[in-house]
Amino acid sequence: MPKQAELFPPEAFADSDDVVIIGGGLAGLFCALKMAPRPVTVLAAAAIGTGASSAWAQAGIAAAVSKGDTVEKHVADTLAAGAGIVDENIATLMVDQAADRIHDLLEYGVPFDTDLEGHLLTSREAAHSENRVVRVKGDMAGKAIMGALVSAVRSTPSIRLLEGYVAEELVMTGKHVTGLIARPDEGRSQTRIELTTRAIIIATGGVGALYEITTNPKQARGGGCGLAARAGAVIADPEFVQFHPTAINIGKDPAPLATEALRGEGCTLHNDAGERFMLKIDEDGEMAPRDIVARGIFDEVMSGRGAWLDCTKAVGSHFKDEFPTVYGYCQDAGIDPAIDRIPVIPAVHYHMGGILTDADGRTTLDGLWACGEVTSTGAHGANRLASNSLLEAVVFSSRIADDICDHLPLGKQHPIVQRNGPEDGTEPNPENLKLLRETMSKYVGVVRTEEGMKKAISILQDLSQKSTSTRFTNALTTAKLITVAALLREESRGGHYRTDFPDPKESWKRRTFLTLDEVENTIAELTAKICETA
Ligand code: SIN
Protein backbone atom coordinates (compact mmCIF):
# COMPACT_ATOMS: atom_id res chain seq x y z
CA MET A 1 0.00 0.00 0.00
CA PRO A 2 1.50 3.41 -0.96
CA LYS A 3 2.00 5.92 1.86
CA GLN A 4 -0.75 8.46 2.42
CA ALA A 5 1.29 11.35 1.01
CA GLU A 6 1.69 9.46 -2.28
CA LEU A 7 -1.98 8.56 -2.39
CA PHE A 8 -3.31 11.99 -1.72
CA PRO A 9 -1.31 14.80 -3.27
CA PRO A 10 -2.97 18.13 -2.36
CA GLU A 11 -4.55 18.50 -5.83
CA ALA A 12 -6.46 15.24 -5.31
CA PHE A 13 -8.61 17.06 -2.81
CA ALA A 14 -9.50 19.94 -5.12
CA ASP A 15 -12.89 18.60 -6.24
CA SER A 16 -14.97 15.57 -5.62
CA ASP A 17 -17.38 13.98 -8.02
CA ASP A 18 -21.03 13.66 -7.15
CA VAL A 19 -21.04 9.84 -7.27
CA VAL A 20 -19.06 7.91 -4.68
CA ILE A 21 -18.76 4.13 -4.63
CA ILE A 22 -17.69 2.67 -1.29
CA GLY A 23 -15.88 -0.62 -1.88
CA GLY A 24 -13.10 -1.90 -4.09
CA GLY A 25 -14.35 -5.46 -4.71
CA LEU A 26 -16.15 -6.84 -7.74
CA ALA A 27 -19.45 -4.97 -7.28
CA GLY A 28 -17.80 -1.58 -6.68
CA LEU A 29 -15.27 -1.80 -9.51
CA PHE A 30 -17.75 -3.19 -12.03
CA CYS A 31 -20.16 -0.37 -11.20
CA ALA A 32 -17.40 2.25 -11.63
CA LEU A 33 -16.41 0.80 -15.02
CA LYS A 34 -20.01 0.62 -16.17
CA MET A 35 -20.48 4.27 -15.26
CA ALA A 36 -17.46 5.48 -17.26
CA PRO A 37 -16.95 8.06 -18.67
CA ARG A 38 -19.09 9.61 -15.94
CA PRO A 39 -16.72 10.68 -13.17
CA VAL A 40 -16.91 8.60 -10.03
CA THR A 41 -14.83 8.28 -6.89
CA VAL A 42 -14.15 4.80 -5.53
CA LEU A 43 -13.33 4.79 -1.83
CA ALA A 44 -11.83 1.49 -0.69
CA ALA A 45 -10.60 0.26 2.70
CA ALA A 46 -7.53 -1.35 1.10
CA ALA A 47 -5.85 -1.21 -2.30
CA ILE A 48 -8.60 -2.05 -4.83
CA GLY A 49 -9.01 -5.76 -5.43
CA THR A 50 -7.56 -6.59 -2.00
CA GLY A 51 -9.47 -6.50 1.27
CA ALA A 52 -12.52 -7.87 -0.59
CA SER A 53 -13.77 -11.45 -0.81
CA SER A 54 -14.19 -11.27 -4.59
CA ALA A 55 -10.55 -12.01 -5.39
CA TRP A 56 -10.71 -15.11 -3.17
CA ALA A 57 -13.69 -16.64 -4.97
CA GLN A 58 -12.57 -19.96 -6.35
CA ALA A 59 -15.41 -21.49 -8.33
CA GLY A 60 -16.72 -18.73 -10.61
CA ILE A 61 -19.95 -17.21 -11.91
CA ALA A 62 -23.14 -19.19 -12.35
CA ALA A 63 -24.66 -18.69 -15.80
CA ALA A 64 -26.93 -20.90 -17.91
CA VAL A 65 -24.61 -20.98 -20.91
CA SER A 66 -23.88 -24.68 -21.37
CA LYS A 67 -25.73 -26.92 -23.84
CA GLY A 68 -29.05 -28.07 -22.43
CA ASP A 69 -29.11 -25.49 -19.65
CA THR A 70 -31.77 -22.76 -19.51
CA VAL A 71 -32.61 -19.64 -17.54
CA GLU A 72 -35.66 -21.50 -16.21
CA LYS A 73 -33.53 -24.33 -14.80
CA HIS A 74 -31.11 -21.88 -13.19
CA VAL A 75 -34.02 -19.95 -11.64
CA ALA A 76 -35.56 -23.21 -10.37
CA ASP A 77 -32.28 -24.21 -8.67
CA THR A 78 -31.95 -20.73 -7.16
CA LEU A 79 -35.50 -20.91 -5.75
CA ALA A 80 -34.94 -24.42 -4.34
CA ALA A 81 -31.65 -23.46 -2.65
CA GLY A 82 -33.25 -20.32 -1.18
CA ALA A 83 -35.66 -22.44 0.88
CA GLY A 84 -38.94 -20.78 -0.07
CA ILE A 85 -38.19 -17.09 0.36
CA VAL A 86 -36.34 -16.09 -2.82
CA ASP A 87 -37.92 -13.15 -4.67
CA GLU A 88 -38.64 -14.94 -7.95
CA ASN A 89 -38.82 -11.76 -10.06
CA ILE A 90 -35.43 -10.61 -8.84
CA ALA A 91 -33.88 -14.07 -9.30
CA THR A 92 -35.25 -14.30 -12.85
CA LEU A 93 -33.97 -10.85 -13.72
CA MET A 94 -30.53 -11.75 -12.34
CA VAL A 95 -30.25 -15.10 -14.08
CA ASP A 96 -31.56 -13.68 -17.35
CA GLN A 97 -28.76 -11.10 -17.48
CA ALA A 98 -25.95 -13.55 -16.69
CA ALA A 99 -24.79 -14.13 -20.28
CA ASP A 100 -24.60 -10.37 -21.02
CA ARG A 101 -22.52 -9.69 -17.93
CA ILE A 102 -20.17 -12.63 -18.70
CA HIS A 103 -19.76 -11.02 -22.12
CA ASP A 104 -18.85 -7.69 -20.44
CA LEU A 105 -16.25 -9.46 -18.30
CA LEU A 106 -14.74 -11.09 -21.38
CA GLU A 107 -14.47 -7.60 -22.90
CA TYR A 108 -12.66 -6.38 -19.77
CA GLY A 109 -10.17 -9.17 -20.41
CA VAL A 110 -11.25 -11.95 -18.01
CA PRO A 111 -9.73 -15.18 -19.38
CA PHE A 112 -12.64 -17.57 -18.70
CA ASP A 113 -11.84 -21.21 -19.54
CA THR A 114 -13.04 -22.22 -23.02
CA ASP A 115 -12.84 -25.32 -25.18
CA LEU A 116 -10.97 -25.46 -28.49
CA GLU A 117 -13.99 -23.98 -30.28
CA GLY A 118 -14.17 -21.05 -27.88
CA HIS A 119 -17.23 -22.22 -25.92
CA LEU A 120 -17.17 -21.42 -22.22
CA LEU A 121 -16.31 -24.39 -19.99
CA THR A 122 -18.51 -24.89 -16.96
CA SER A 123 -18.17 -26.79 -13.65
CA ARG A 124 -20.78 -28.31 -11.36
CA GLU A 125 -21.42 -27.24 -7.75
CA ALA A 126 -23.84 -28.51 -5.11
CA ALA A 127 -27.57 -27.91 -5.70
CA HIS A 128 -27.06 -27.00 -9.40
CA SER A 129 -28.91 -29.34 -11.77
CA GLU A 130 -26.47 -28.56 -14.61
CA ASN A 131 -22.81 -27.75 -15.11
CA ARG A 132 -23.16 -24.00 -14.88
CA VAL A 133 -20.21 -22.36 -13.20
CA VAL A 134 -18.09 -20.34 -15.61
CA ARG A 135 -14.55 -20.57 -14.29
CA VAL A 136 -10.91 -19.62 -14.81
CA LYS A 137 -8.09 -22.21 -14.63
CA GLY A 138 -10.09 -24.48 -12.34
CA ASP A 139 -10.24 -22.50 -9.09
CA MET A 140 -8.83 -19.08 -10.00
CA ALA A 141 -11.96 -17.19 -11.11
CA GLY A 142 -11.99 -14.50 -8.42
CA LYS A 143 -8.30 -13.71 -8.81
CA ALA A 144 -8.53 -13.52 -12.60
CA ILE A 145 -11.73 -11.45 -12.62
CA MET A 146 -10.36 -8.98 -10.09
CA GLY A 147 -7.00 -8.80 -11.85
CA ALA A 148 -8.71 -7.80 -15.10
CA LEU A 149 -11.04 -5.28 -13.42
CA VAL A 150 -8.30 -3.67 -11.33
CA SER A 151 -6.25 -3.07 -14.51
CA ALA A 152 -9.30 -1.70 -16.32
CA VAL A 153 -10.13 0.63 -13.41
CA ARG A 154 -6.56 1.88 -13.05
CA SER A 155 -6.52 2.81 -16.73
CA THR A 156 -9.92 4.54 -16.75
CA PRO A 157 -9.36 8.28 -16.29
CA SER A 158 -12.93 9.00 -15.11
CA ILE A 159 -12.44 6.83 -12.00
CA ARG A 160 -10.69 8.45 -9.08
CA LEU A 161 -9.45 6.15 -6.34
CA LEU A 162 -9.28 6.93 -2.63
CA GLU A 163 -7.62 3.75 -1.35
CA GLY A 164 -7.04 3.00 2.31
CA TYR A 165 -10.07 4.91 3.57
CA VAL A 166 -12.92 3.38 5.55
CA ALA A 167 -16.39 4.96 5.27
CA GLU A 168 -17.75 5.40 8.77
CA GLU A 169 -20.81 7.55 8.58
CA LEU A 170 -23.42 8.75 6.08
CA VAL A 171 -24.35 12.42 6.19
CA MET A 172 -28.12 12.87 6.07
CA THR A 173 -30.23 15.85 5.07
CA GLY A 174 -33.65 14.67 6.18
CA LYS A 175 -34.17 11.26 4.55
CA HIS A 176 -31.68 12.10 1.81
CA VAL A 177 -28.09 10.85 1.91
CA THR A 178 -25.96 13.85 1.00
CA GLY A 179 -22.45 12.80 1.93
CA LEU A 180 -20.14 10.59 3.86
CA ILE A 181 -17.38 10.73 6.43
CA ALA A 182 -14.37 8.45 6.04
CA ARG A 183 -11.08 7.92 7.84
CA PRO A 184 -7.76 6.35 6.94
CA ASP A 185 -7.31 2.66 7.64
CA GLU A 186 -5.43 1.48 10.72
CA GLY A 187 -1.99 2.83 11.49
CA ARG A 188 -2.36 6.01 9.43
CA SER A 189 -3.23 9.59 10.32
CA GLN A 190 -6.47 10.38 12.12
CA THR A 191 -7.46 12.97 9.51
CA ARG A 192 -11.01 12.36 8.45
CA ILE A 193 -12.49 13.44 5.15
CA GLU A 194 -16.01 14.52 4.32
CA LEU A 195 -17.43 14.18 0.84
CA THR A 196 -20.61 15.85 -0.37
CA THR A 197 -22.47 13.56 -2.75
CA ARG A 198 -25.56 13.20 -4.91
CA ALA A 199 -25.28 9.43 -5.07
CA ILE A 200 -23.51 6.94 -2.86
CA ILE A 201 -23.24 3.26 -3.76
CA ILE A 202 -22.32 0.94 -0.89
CA ALA A 203 -20.44 -2.14 -2.10
CA THR A 204 -18.48 -3.05 1.02
CA GLY A 205 -19.03 -6.83 1.07
CA GLY A 206 -20.05 -9.18 3.84
CA VAL A 207 -19.86 -10.01 7.50
CA GLY A 208 -17.51 -13.01 7.82
CA ALA A 209 -15.01 -11.25 10.07
CA LEU A 210 -17.73 -10.77 12.71
CA TYR A 211 -17.12 -14.48 13.34
CA GLU A 212 -14.08 -16.41 14.58
CA ILE A 213 -13.85 -18.75 11.60
CA THR A 214 -14.41 -17.19 8.19
CA THR A 215 -13.23 -17.37 4.62
CA ASN A 216 -13.62 -13.58 4.30
CA PRO A 217 -10.90 -10.93 4.68
CA LYS A 218 -10.68 -9.00 7.96
CA GLN A 219 -12.31 -5.96 6.33
CA ALA A 220 -15.58 -7.93 5.90
CA ARG A 221 -16.91 -6.84 9.25
CA GLY A 222 -20.37 -5.69 8.22
CA GLY A 223 -19.33 -2.03 8.24
CA GLY A 224 -21.37 -0.99 5.18
CA CYS A 225 -24.55 -2.65 6.44
CA GLY A 226 -24.00 -1.07 9.86
CA LEU A 227 -23.49 2.45 8.57
CA ALA A 228 -26.58 2.23 6.33
CA ALA A 229 -28.67 0.86 9.21
CA ARG A 230 -27.45 3.66 11.49
CA ALA A 231 -28.66 6.15 8.87
CA GLY A 232 -32.12 4.52 8.90
CA ALA A 233 -31.97 2.15 5.90
CA VAL A 234 -34.15 -0.96 6.02
CA ILE A 235 -32.11 -4.16 6.36
CA ALA A 236 -33.51 -7.44 4.98
CA ASP A 237 -32.94 -11.06 6.03
CA PRO A 238 -29.91 -10.36 8.26
CA GLU A 239 -30.30 -13.68 10.12
CA PHE A 240 -29.30 -15.66 7.03
CA VAL A 241 -25.55 -16.26 7.21
CA GLN A 242 -24.08 -18.95 4.98
CA PHE A 243 -21.36 -21.26 6.28
CA HIS A 244 -19.12 -22.84 3.69
CA PRO A 245 -18.76 -26.48 4.71
CA THR A 246 -15.14 -26.96 3.73
CA ALA A 247 -12.79 -24.27 4.97
CA ILE A 248 -9.36 -25.83 5.51
CA ASN A 249 -9.00 -26.46 9.25
CA ILE A 250 -5.40 -25.42 9.90
CA GLY A 251 -6.02 -22.67 12.47
CA LYS A 252 -5.53 -19.81 9.99
CA ASP A 253 -7.50 -16.54 10.14
CA PRO A 254 -9.05 -16.09 7.62
CA ALA A 255 -9.48 -19.78 6.90
CA PRO A 256 -8.49 -20.83 3.37
CA LEU A 257 -11.26 -22.38 1.29
CA ALA A 258 -11.40 -25.80 -0.33
CA THR A 259 -13.80 -25.08 -3.17
CA GLU A 260 -17.08 -26.93 -3.44
CA ALA A 261 -16.07 -27.79 -7.00
CA LEU A 262 -13.86 -30.46 -5.38
CA ARG A 263 -16.96 -32.22 -4.10
CA GLY A 264 -18.45 -31.60 -7.56
CA GLU A 265 -15.51 -33.65 -8.89
CA GLY A 266 -16.36 -36.52 -6.54
CA CYS A 267 -14.18 -35.80 -3.47
CA THR A 268 -15.69 -37.32 -0.32
CA LEU A 269 -16.08 -36.37 3.36
CA HIS A 270 -14.97 -38.67 6.17
CA ASN A 271 -14.51 -38.57 9.93
CA ASP A 272 -11.46 -39.79 11.85
CA ALA A 273 -12.85 -43.34 11.72
CA GLY A 274 -13.03 -43.11 7.91
CA GLU A 275 -16.85 -43.11 7.91
CA ARG A 276 -18.52 -41.20 5.02
CA PHE A 277 -20.89 -39.45 7.40
CA MET A 278 -22.82 -37.36 4.82
CA LEU A 279 -24.33 -40.53 3.35
CA LYS A 280 -26.24 -41.02 6.62
CA ILE A 281 -27.54 -37.45 6.59
CA ASP A 282 -28.77 -36.75 3.05
CA GLU A 283 -29.41 -38.83 -0.05
CA ASP A 284 -27.23 -36.41 -2.04
CA GLY A 285 -24.34 -37.05 0.36
CA GLU A 286 -21.50 -34.56 -0.16
CA MET A 287 -23.57 -32.73 -2.82
CA ALA A 288 -26.45 -31.91 -0.44
CA PRO A 289 -27.26 -28.18 -0.03
CA ARG A 290 -24.50 -26.22 1.61
CA ASP A 291 -26.26 -25.67 4.97
CA ILE A 292 -26.86 -29.41 5.38
CA VAL A 293 -23.24 -30.31 4.62
CA ALA A 294 -22.04 -27.51 6.92
CA ARG A 295 -24.14 -28.86 9.82
CA GLY A 296 -22.97 -32.41 9.09
CA ILE A 297 -19.32 -31.35 9.31
CA PHE A 298 -19.99 -29.11 12.34
CA ASP A 299 -21.44 -32.10 14.23
CA GLU A 300 -18.41 -34.26 13.45
CA VAL A 301 -15.93 -31.54 14.47
CA MET A 302 -17.81 -30.55 17.66
CA SER A 303 -18.19 -34.18 18.75
CA GLY A 304 -14.44 -34.72 18.35
CA ARG A 305 -14.82 -37.18 15.45
CA GLY A 306 -13.11 -34.79 13.03
CA ALA A 307 -13.90 -34.08 9.37
CA TRP A 308 -11.69 -34.58 6.32
CA LEU A 309 -12.06 -34.02 2.60
CA ASP A 310 -10.55 -36.89 0.64
CA CYS A 311 -9.49 -35.89 -2.86
CA THR A 312 -6.92 -38.61 -3.32
CA LYS A 313 -9.09 -40.75 -5.60
CA ALA A 314 -11.31 -38.22 -7.40
CA VAL A 315 -8.56 -35.70 -8.21
CA GLY A 316 -5.31 -37.31 -7.04
CA SER A 317 -2.25 -36.37 -9.05
CA HIS A 318 -4.18 -33.77 -11.13
CA PHE A 319 -4.75 -31.64 -8.04
CA LYS A 320 -1.92 -29.19 -8.60
CA ASP A 321 -3.02 -28.43 -12.18
CA GLU A 322 -6.77 -28.48 -11.67
CA PHE A 323 -7.05 -26.67 -8.33
CA PRO A 324 -3.87 -24.59 -8.04
CA THR A 325 -5.25 -22.21 -5.40
CA VAL A 326 -6.33 -24.95 -2.98
CA TYR A 327 -3.13 -26.84 -3.73
CA GLY A 328 -1.10 -23.77 -2.68
CA TYR A 329 -3.02 -23.45 0.61
CA CYS A 330 -2.48 -27.15 1.35
CA GLN A 331 1.19 -26.99 0.47
CA ASP A 332 1.70 -24.05 2.87
CA ALA A 333 0.26 -26.25 5.62
CA GLY A 334 2.40 -29.26 4.72
CA ILE A 335 -0.50 -31.20 3.20
CA ASP A 336 -0.24 -32.90 -0.19
CA PRO A 337 -3.90 -33.27 -1.24
CA ALA A 338 -2.95 -35.79 -3.93
CA ILE A 339 -2.11 -38.27 -1.16
CA ASP A 340 -3.30 -36.70 2.15
CA ARG A 341 -6.82 -35.92 3.33
CA ILE A 342 -7.61 -32.23 3.95
CA PRO A 343 -8.94 -31.30 7.45
CA VAL A 344 -12.11 -29.22 7.05
CA ILE A 345 -14.45 -27.09 9.17
CA PRO A 346 -17.44 -24.85 8.35
CA ALA A 347 -16.61 -21.14 8.12
CA VAL A 348 -18.73 -18.04 7.56
CA HIS A 349 -18.60 -17.45 3.85
CA TYR A 350 -21.50 -15.31 2.69
CA HIS A 351 -24.27 -13.09 4.05
CA MET A 352 -27.61 -13.49 2.30
CA GLY A 353 -29.00 -10.56 4.28
CA GLY A 354 -28.05 -6.93 4.06
CA ILE A 355 -29.23 -3.52 2.92
CA LEU A 356 -32.64 -3.90 1.26
CA THR A 357 -32.43 -2.95 -2.43
CA ASP A 358 -34.79 -3.02 -5.39
CA ALA A 359 -34.16 -4.17 -8.97
CA ASP A 360 -32.07 -1.04 -9.64
CA GLY A 361 -30.05 -1.28 -6.46
CA ARG A 362 -31.95 1.56 -4.79
CA THR A 363 -32.13 1.39 -0.99
CA THR A 364 -34.90 2.83 1.18
CA LEU A 365 -32.89 6.06 1.56
CA ASP A 366 -32.84 8.67 -1.21
CA GLY A 367 -29.39 9.14 -2.67
CA LEU A 368 -28.20 5.70 -1.52
CA TRP A 369 -27.74 2.63 -3.71
CA ALA A 370 -26.04 -0.66 -2.79
CA CYS A 371 -24.76 -3.75 -4.61
CA GLY A 372 -22.94 -7.01 -3.97
CA GLU A 373 -22.84 -8.98 -0.74
CA VAL A 374 -23.72 -5.99 1.44
CA THR A 375 -27.25 -6.04 -0.02
CA SER A 376 -30.28 -8.20 0.26
CA THR A 377 -31.88 -8.11 -3.20
CA GLY A 378 -34.01 -11.17 -2.44
CA ALA A 379 -32.15 -13.30 -5.03
CA HIS A 380 -30.71 -15.70 -2.45
CA GLY A 381 -33.53 -16.17 0.05
CA ALA A 382 -32.42 -18.19 3.07
CA ASN A 383 -29.50 -19.91 1.34
CA ARG A 384 -27.46 -18.78 -1.65
CA LEU A 385 -26.91 -21.13 -4.54
CA ALA A 386 -23.15 -21.49 -5.07
CA SER A 387 -21.62 -19.01 -7.53
CA ASN A 388 -24.75 -16.85 -7.69
CA SER A 389 -22.96 -14.20 -5.64
CA LEU A 390 -20.52 -12.92 -8.26
CA LEU A 391 -23.43 -13.02 -10.69
CA GLU A 392 -25.58 -10.89 -8.40
CA ALA A 393 -22.70 -8.44 -7.94
CA VAL A 394 -22.22 -7.80 -11.66
CA VAL A 395 -25.91 -7.77 -12.59
CA PHE A 396 -27.03 -5.28 -9.96
CA SER A 397 -23.96 -3.04 -10.09
CA SER A 398 -24.54 -2.70 -13.81
CA ARG A 399 -28.21 -1.84 -13.23
CA ILE A 400 -27.19 0.81 -10.69
CA ALA A 401 -24.82 2.35 -13.24
CA ASP A 402 -27.69 2.55 -15.76
CA ASP A 403 -30.10 3.92 -13.16
CA ILE A 404 -27.75 6.69 -12.07
CA CYS A 405 -26.55 7.60 -15.55
CA ASP A 406 -30.16 7.65 -16.89
CA HIS A 407 -31.74 9.58 -14.05
CA LEU A 408 -29.14 11.69 -12.31
CA PRO A 409 -27.70 14.52 -14.39
CA LEU A 410 -24.08 15.42 -13.73
CA GLY A 411 -23.96 17.53 -10.61
CA LYS A 412 -21.93 20.36 -9.26
CA GLN A 413 -18.58 19.30 -7.89
CA HIS A 414 -17.89 19.83 -4.21
CA PRO A 415 -14.52 20.02 -2.54
CA ILE A 416 -13.53 17.16 -0.25
CA VAL A 417 -13.18 18.59 3.24
CA GLN A 418 -10.35 17.35 5.46
CA ARG A 419 -10.63 17.70 9.21
CA ASN A 420 -7.78 17.06 11.61
CA GLY A 421 -7.94 15.44 14.99
CA PRO A 422 -9.52 12.19 16.05
CA GLU A 423 -13.04 12.32 17.41
CA ASP A 424 -12.86 8.71 18.43
CA GLY A 425 -10.64 5.66 18.05
CA THR A 426 -10.60 4.24 14.57
CA GLU A 427 -9.87 0.55 15.02
CA PRO A 428 -11.78 -1.49 17.60
CA ASN A 429 -10.00 -2.49 20.75
CA PRO A 430 -8.58 -5.97 19.87
CA GLU A 431 -9.98 -7.57 23.05
CA ASN A 432 -13.47 -6.28 22.27
CA LEU A 433 -13.24 -7.41 18.66
CA LYS A 434 -12.16 -10.88 19.84
CA LEU A 435 -15.11 -11.04 22.22
CA LEU A 436 -17.49 -9.98 19.44
CA ARG A 437 -16.18 -12.70 17.11
CA GLU A 438 -16.28 -15.41 19.81
CA THR A 439 -19.81 -14.39 20.76
CA MET A 440 -21.13 -14.55 17.20
CA SER A 441 -19.52 -17.94 16.55
CA LYS A 442 -20.63 -19.47 19.83
CA TYR A 443 -24.18 -18.16 19.99
CA VAL A 444 -25.24 -17.06 16.47
CA GLY A 445 -23.34 -19.62 14.41
CA VAL A 446 -24.12 -22.84 12.56
CA VAL A 447 -26.51 -23.95 15.33
CA ARG A 448 -28.54 -21.40 17.34
CA THR A 449 -30.79 -21.43 20.42
CA GLU A 450 -32.94 -18.81 22.15
CA GLU A 451 -30.80 -18.96 25.28
CA GLY A 452 -27.56 -18.50 23.35
CA MET A 453 -28.85 -15.62 21.27
CA LYS A 454 -30.12 -13.81 24.37
CA LYS A 455 -26.65 -14.15 25.87
CA ALA A 456 -25.19 -12.79 22.64
CA ILE A 457 -27.50 -9.78 22.71
CA SER A 458 -26.46 -8.93 26.24
CA ILE A 459 -22.75 -9.11 25.33
CA LEU A 460 -23.27 -7.05 22.14
CA GLN A 461 -25.20 -4.42 24.09
CA ASP A 462 -22.42 -4.21 26.64
CA LEU A 463 -19.80 -3.84 23.91
CA SER A 464 -21.91 -1.13 22.20
CA GLN A 465 -22.03 0.88 25.40
CA LYS A 466 -18.24 0.70 25.73
CA SER A 467 -17.41 1.31 22.05
CA THR A 468 -15.40 4.44 21.31
CA SER A 469 -14.84 3.53 17.66
CA THR A 470 -17.40 4.36 14.98
CA ARG A 471 -15.99 1.50 12.93
CA PHE A 472 -16.64 -0.93 15.77
CA THR A 473 -20.10 0.51 16.34
CA ASN A 474 -20.93 -0.21 12.68
CA ALA A 475 -19.74 -3.80 13.10
CA LEU A 476 -21.74 -4.21 16.32
CA THR A 477 -24.81 -2.76 14.62
CA THR A 478 -24.67 -5.48 11.97
CA ALA A 479 -24.03 -8.15 14.61
CA LYS A 480 -27.11 -6.98 16.52
CA LEU A 481 -29.24 -7.02 13.36
CA ILE A 482 -28.16 -10.63 12.65
CA THR A 483 -28.76 -11.75 16.23
CA VAL A 484 -32.11 -10.07 16.84
CA ALA A 485 -33.50 -11.25 13.48
CA ALA A 486 -32.29 -14.79 14.27
CA LEU A 487 -33.94 -14.66 17.68
CA LEU A 488 -37.23 -13.40 16.24
CA ARG A 489 -37.36 -16.10 13.52
CA GLU A 490 -38.72 -19.02 15.50
CA GLU A 491 -38.09 -21.71 12.90
CA SER A 492 -35.20 -23.20 10.91
CA ARG A 493 -34.80 -22.32 7.24
CA GLY A 494 -31.77 -22.43 4.94
CA GLY A 495 -28.71 -21.01 6.65
CA HIS A 496 -30.64 -20.27 9.88
CA TYR A 497 -30.84 -23.36 12.11
CA ARG A 498 -32.25 -23.47 15.66
CA THR A 499 -32.27 -26.59 17.80
CA ASP A 500 -35.30 -25.21 19.68
CA PHE A 501 -37.25 -24.75 16.40
CA PRO A 502 -35.65 -27.34 14.09
CA ASP A 503 -38.25 -27.24 11.28
CA PRO A 504 -39.45 -24.59 8.84
CA LYS A 505 -42.85 -23.03 9.60
CA GLU A 506 -45.37 -21.90 6.99
CA SER A 507 -46.05 -18.71 8.99
CA TRP A 508 -42.36 -17.81 8.66
CA LYS A 509 -42.19 -18.38 4.91
CA ARG A 510 -41.37 -14.73 4.36
CA ARG A 511 -38.47 -12.36 4.35
CA THR A 512 -37.42 -10.23 7.32
CA PHE A 513 -37.35 -6.44 7.08
CA LEU A 514 -35.90 -4.51 10.02
CA THR A 515 -34.66 -1.06 10.91
CA LEU A 516 -32.09 -0.39 13.60
CA ASP A 517 -34.77 1.38 15.68
CA GLU A 518 -36.85 -1.81 15.65
CA VAL A 519 -33.80 -3.84 16.69
CA GLU A 520 -33.02 -1.46 19.57
CA ASN A 521 -36.68 -1.58 20.69
CA THR A 522 -36.61 -5.39 20.72
CA ILE A 523 -33.41 -5.32 22.76
CA ALA A 524 -34.94 -2.81 25.20
CA GLU A 525 -38.02 -5.04 25.62
CA LEU A 526 -35.86 -8.11 26.22
CA THR A 527 -33.73 -6.27 28.74
CA ALA A 528 -36.84 -5.02 30.57
CA LYS A 529 -38.21 -8.62 30.76
CA ILE A 530 -34.91 -9.93 32.11
CA CYS A 531 -34.90 -7.17 34.79
CA GLU A 532 -38.54 -8.00 35.72
CA THR A 533 -37.77 -11.68 36.26
CA ALA A 534 -34.47 -11.06 38.10
C1 SIN B 1 -16.67 -22.40 -3.65
O2 SIN B 1 -15.81 -22.34 -4.52
O3 SIN B 1 -16.93 -23.44 -3.04
C4 SIN B 1 -17.41 -21.18 -3.28
C5 SIN B 1 -18.36 -20.82 -4.33
C6 SIN B 1 -19.41 -19.90 -3.77
O7 SIN B 1 -19.46 -19.69 -2.58
O8 SIN B 1 -20.22 -19.41 -4.56
Distance from C-alpha of 292 to C-alpha of 343, rounded to nearest angstrom: 18
Residue 491 CA, ligand 1 centroid: distance in Å: 26
Task: Quickly count helices (H) and strands (E) in the chain.
Answer: 17, 20
Closest CA to 477 of 241, 228, 240: 228
pLDDT digits (tens, 9 = 90+) for 112-153: 999 999 999 998 888 899 999 999 998 899 999 999 999 999
pLDDT digits (tens, 9 = 90+) for 228-263: 999 999 999 999 999 999 999 999 999 999 998 899
Which atom of ligand 1 lies at the shortest distance from residue 58's CA? 2
Residue 519 CA, ligand 1 centroid: distance in Å: 31
Which atom of ligand 1 lies at the shortest distance from residue 258's CA? 3
Q: How far is CA 151 from CA 143, 155, 519, in A?
A: 12, 6, 42
Active-site choice (183, 290, 295, 498): 290
What is the model's pLDDT at position 527? 87
Taking domain 430-533, whether its CATH number is 1.20.810.10 is answered by: no
What is the model's pLDDT at position 447? 97
What is the model's pLDDT at position 5? 36
- Is 409 within 8 Å of 58 (Cβ atoms)? no
- Give the binding-site residues of ligand 1, using a 6 Å CB cut-off: 58-59, 259-261, 349-350, 386-387, 389
Q: Is 471 a catalytic residue?
A: no
Which atom of ligand 1 lies at the shortest distance from residue 125's CA? 3
Residue 328 CA, ligand 1 centroid: distance in Å: 17
Distance from C-alpha of 525 to C-alpha of 528, rounded to nearest angstrom: 5
Q: How far is CA 470 from CA 392, 427, 449, 502, 519, in A?
A: 29, 8, 30, 37, 18
Residue 209 CB: number of other CB atoms within 10 A?
A: 24
Mutate to test the pocket of ligand 1, among 53, 78, 122, 259 (most ligand atoms within 8 A of CB): 259
* Non-local CB neighbours of 374 within 8 Å, separated by 6+ positions: 23, 27, 202, 203, 204, 205, 206, 224, 225, 228, 351, 354, 355
Residue 346 CA, ligand 1 centroid: distance in Å: 13
Mutate to test the pocket of ligand 1, among 125, 348, 351, 380 (most ligand atoms within 8 A of CB): 125
- Is 110 within 8 Å of 136 (Cβ atoms)? yes
The CATH superfamily label for domain 10-240+352-417 reads FAD/NAD(P)-binding domain (3.50.50.60)
> Considering just the CA atoms, what is the radius of gyration of the chain in Å?
22
Class of domain 245-347: alpha beta
pLDDT digits (tens, 9 = 90+) for 29-88: 999 999 999 999 999 999 999 988 999 998 899 999 999 999 999 999 999 999 999 999
Which atom of ligand 1 lies at the shortest distance from residue 386's CA? 8
pLDDT digits (tens, 9 = 90+) for 473-495: 999 999 999 999 999 999 999 99
Residue 352 CA, ligand 1 centroid: distance in Å: 14
| Separation of CA 526 from chain center | 30
What is the model's pLDDT at position 207? 98
Q: ω into residue 337 within 30 of 0, thus cis?
A: no
375-376 vs 354-356, strand pairing mode: parallel
Q: What is the largest CA-CA distance in the chain?
A: 73
What residue spans in the chain does CATH classification 1.20.58.100 cover?
Answer: 430-533
Residue 212 CA, ligand 1 centroid: distance in Å: 19
| Separation of CA 445 from chain center | 16
Where residue 281 falls among pLDDT bands split at 50, 70, 90? very high
Which atom of ligand 1 lies at the shortest distance from residue 388's CA? 8
What residue spans in the chain does CATH classification 3.90.700.10 cover?
Answer: 245-347
- Please give the model's pTM, rounded to 2 decimal places: 0.94
pLDDT digits (tens, 9 = 90+) for 440-453: 999 999 999 999 99
Beta bridge partners of 376: 356
pLDDT digits (tens, 9 = 90+) for 180-231: 999 987 766 678 889 999 999 999 999 999 999 999 999 999 999 999 999 9
368-370 vs 199-202, strand pairing mode: parallel
Q: ω into residue 422 within 30 of 0, thus cis?
A: no
Q: Take atom 7 of ligand 1 and give the residue whose Cα is closest.
A: 386
Mutate to test the pocket of ligand 1, among 244, 248, 290, 389 (most ligand atoms within 8 A of CB): 244
Using left for φ > 0, alpha for ψ between -120 and 50, and beta otherwise, residue 277 falls in: alpha
Q: What is the mean pLDDT of the chain?
A: 93
What residue spans in the chain does CATH classification 3.50.50.60 cover?
Answer: 10-240+352-417
Instruction: State the DSSP string of 350-417.
Output: EES-EEE--TT-B-SSBTEEE-GGGEE-SSSTTSPPTTHHHHHHHHHHHHHHHHHHHH------BPPE
**Residues in the chain, total:** 534
Q: Is 125 helix (H, G, I), strand (E, B) or coil?
A: coil
